[in-house]
Structure 1
């Protein structure tokens, strides 16, 4: 079962290393991990996507809580959360196909953020499937570079995410 963990941690050096090391030592594959500031000064939010059954995730949560810099852990349900990823893709483009590429990008609510002599850079946000679809449509033009942030997520206002002990 896929889990999204939202982990509130102290904004200190090596916290990310300790959290990812703990997961690695327990043979967890991290599909995605993103870290950034939170609503509280001095705290960061880690969003970790991994696979495990509920019982195993509970054990992992208990282990994470033992880390001194971990403040709070929530297991976010996919259907009760806003889950997004950012994609930047540099695609081959010239004056004859720029309009065509733009017409592919538009329905995805993506935007062109850079234009060069032989390329364009597209920025898109959404779920993994949406971004994968956009990449497939751009592939015939020649994908030069791709950068993805990994998942970031928050529970919806009406959602009851599971606070983990």
Structure 2
């Protein structure tokens, strides 16, 4: 089963996110990731939704989204060259003797430490989903105390 990344431009109105997510729920479509924020145009927000399925599912999602009044444009980003990123903040147990090892992992992934506590570090990592997953796996043996991920956000590459 493929994963599709869809950008949806919507009116920046209360309840739009609920209507879009409700549409997915009612139709039995799953959402792996959803991010929402202001777009380049005032009054519009951009949603980036990652959903699993096949070509037929994608076609149905697009048709159903266009039926919603607040939806302005639906773009299948996965059919084009795109830049996709995710952000994760990971609070890891880090006693002073363990910190050099943890810093080695942080440096390898070009991540950064954004907070240092007496017995923990908060690491910020940006990249594609496999990179985030790999970093989490390497930090698990040290003890992950908290984890927060943003979900994927994406744009089409180049001048398109």
- Normalised TM-score (structure 2): 0.95
Residue matched to 1:134: 135
Cα-to-partner distance string for 1:22-79 (whole Å, 9 max, x where unaligned): 0110101100001011111111100000012212211221111111110100001277
Match of 1:118 in 2: 119
The aligned residue for residue 145 of structure 2 is 144
> Cα deviations across residues 109-131 of structure 1 (Å, max 9, x unaligned)?
10000000110000001111111
1:17-32 alignment runs, 5 A limit:
17-32=18-33
SS, match of residue 9 in structure 2:
strand
Decide whether the 8 Å contact of 2:80 with 2:156 is kept in 1. no
| Distance in 2, Cα, partners of 1:56 & 1:87 | 29
Give me the CA root mean square deviation.
1.2
Count of matched residue positions in the alignment of Structure 1 and Structure 2 = 159
Q: Residues 7-156 of structure 1: matches in 2 within 5 Å?
A: 7-77=8-78, 80-156=81-157
Aligned mates of 1:78, 1:108 — CA distance in 2:
28
CA distance in 2, matches of 1:121, 1:128: 19
C-alpha distance in 2 between matches for 1:58 and 1:101: 45
- Residues 124-144 of structure 1 deviation map (CA, whole Å, 9 limit, x = unaligned): 011111111111111111000
Structure 1 range deviating more: 28-37 or 58-67: 58-67
Where 1:96 maps in the other structure, the secondary structure is helix
Runs of 4+ that moved beyond 4 A: none
What 5-or-longer segments of structure 2 have no aligned partner? none
- 5+ residue gaps in structure 1? 160-165
